[in-house]
């Protein structure tokens, strides 16, 4: 079973059990517990896909939510609140109002990233979950539901794909590796985005931040760039990418804000610098 991979890995490689301040948190134990929840959530989603979906628009016809998005977030929320009642939760579908800080222990959840793909393709979507403490990432998870691929990282312990340790980032640029782009980049007609796509070896717009980020960490692409992402789209990749030596910034080279919508680059040092240079001066 997929969940058993982490247990064998735990005994073989001996990840340290790290206590959180004031929580006496068993970080490895929390990781193993969350891993099991993610696999269970994936099973629930795959079963739900056999039933008719209830689909609603949020901000527009390209911004959709289904009953499965909400049910999946509720599944995680209920489990977290039962085990860690003092922890706060920021989720895409159920969070009301704006978070003003990441103080304390905060879980950030995107129950189905790539909802349009989920609805129209039945594929190319993922689960994104992370745990932060006072703004510092402790745990990060990207789960490709239909391929049963789980990428995770524990702060200071490296990043793994289905239990196998991922290598450090190879510093490729956009002219010798493929580039992932978000839908706003693909639809933009600005001189800067045209220059970016023209200069790249090739580009892909998969429609899911989760899978775009995963392809970067697998070394299949050098970077992912988007013009409009939210904390739940990118927080898990913060934890994973920093364990692997990838860099993060907005398109102006500034530190990423995990409390609101932002532009976003994650990639190798070389690719991120090239993208920032090309997009300099762009209006967003």
Give domain limits for the chain: 2-165, 178-279
pLDDT given at position 13: 37
Burial of 170 (0-12, 13-18, 19+ CB in 10 A): exposed
pLDDT given at position 85: 96
Partnered with residue 178 across adjacent β-strands are 221
Give, in order, the Cα–Cα distances in Å from 264 to each of 52, 128, 136, 182, 275. 34, 16, 18, 10, 11
Pick the CATH number of 178-279 from 3.40.190.80, 2.40.30.10, 3.20.20.60, 3.50.50.60: 3.40.190.80
- What CATH number does the domain located at 2-165 have? 3.30.540.10
Question: 49 versus 4: which is more confidently predicted?
Answer: 49
Given a cut of 90, whether residue 135 has pLDDT beyond it is: yes
pTM, rounded to two decimals? 0.90
Rounded to the nearest 10°, the torsion over CA 189, 182, 267, 121 is -140
pLDDT classification of 96: cutoffs 50, 70, 90: low
Average pLDDT, stretch 247-255? Answer: 95
**Spatial CA neighbour of 210 closest among 8, 4, 45:** 45
Among 27-36, 52-61, 89-98, the minimum mean pLDDT is found in 89-98
Instruction: Give me the percent of the chain exceeding a pLDDT of 70.
Output: 90
Average pLDDT, stretch 254-266? Answer: 94
Do residues 251 and 284 lie in contact, with contact meaning Cβ atoms separated by under 8 Å? yes
Given a cut of 70, whether residue 24 has pLDDT beyond it is: no
The whole-angstrom distance between residue 97's C-alpha and the CA centroid of its chain comes to 21
**Spatial CA neighbour of 152 closest among 45, 258, 34:** 34
pLDDT given at position 94: 86
Same fold, 2-165 and 178-279: no
Phi, psi of 28 (to 5 degrees): -65, -45
pLDDT given at position 7: 35
Give the pLDDT confidence of 199-225 residue by residue, as tens digits. 999 999 999 999 999 999 999 999 999
């Amino acid at each position: 079973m997929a969940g058993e991979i982490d247990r064998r890995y735990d005994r073989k490689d001996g990840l340290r059990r790290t206590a959180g301040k004031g929580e006496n948190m068993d970080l490895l134990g929390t990781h193993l517990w969350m891993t099991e929840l993610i696999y269970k959530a994936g099973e629930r989603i795959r079963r739900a896909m056999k039933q008719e979906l209830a689909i609603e628009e949020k901000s527009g016809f390209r911004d959709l939510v289904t009953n499965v998005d909400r049910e999946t977030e509720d599944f995680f929320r209920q489990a977290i609140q039962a085990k860690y009642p003092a922890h706060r939760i920021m989720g895409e579908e159920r969070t009301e109002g704006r978070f003003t800080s990441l103080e304390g222990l905060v879980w950030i959840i995107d129950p189905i990233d790539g909802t349009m793909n989920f609805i129209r393709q039945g594929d190319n979507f993922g689960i994104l979950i992370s745990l932060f403490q006072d703004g510092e990432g402790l745990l990060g998870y990207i789960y490709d539901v239909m391929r049963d691929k789980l990428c995770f990282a524990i702060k200071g312990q490296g990043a793994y794909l289905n239990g196998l340790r991922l290598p450090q980032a190879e510093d490729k640029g956009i002219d010798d590796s493929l580039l992932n782009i978000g839908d706003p980049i693909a639809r933009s007609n600005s001189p800067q985005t045209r220059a970016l796509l023209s200069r790249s070896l090739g580009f892909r717009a998969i429609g899911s931040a989760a899978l775009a980020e995963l392809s970067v960490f697998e070394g299949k692409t050098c970077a992912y760039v988007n013009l409009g992402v939210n904390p739940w789209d990118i927080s898990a990749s913060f934890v994973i990418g920093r364990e692997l030596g990838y860099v993060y910034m907005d398109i102006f080279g500034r530190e990423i804000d995990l409390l609101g919508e932002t532009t976003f680059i994650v990639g190798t040092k070389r690719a991120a610098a090239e993208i920032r240079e090309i997009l300099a001066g762009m209006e967003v």
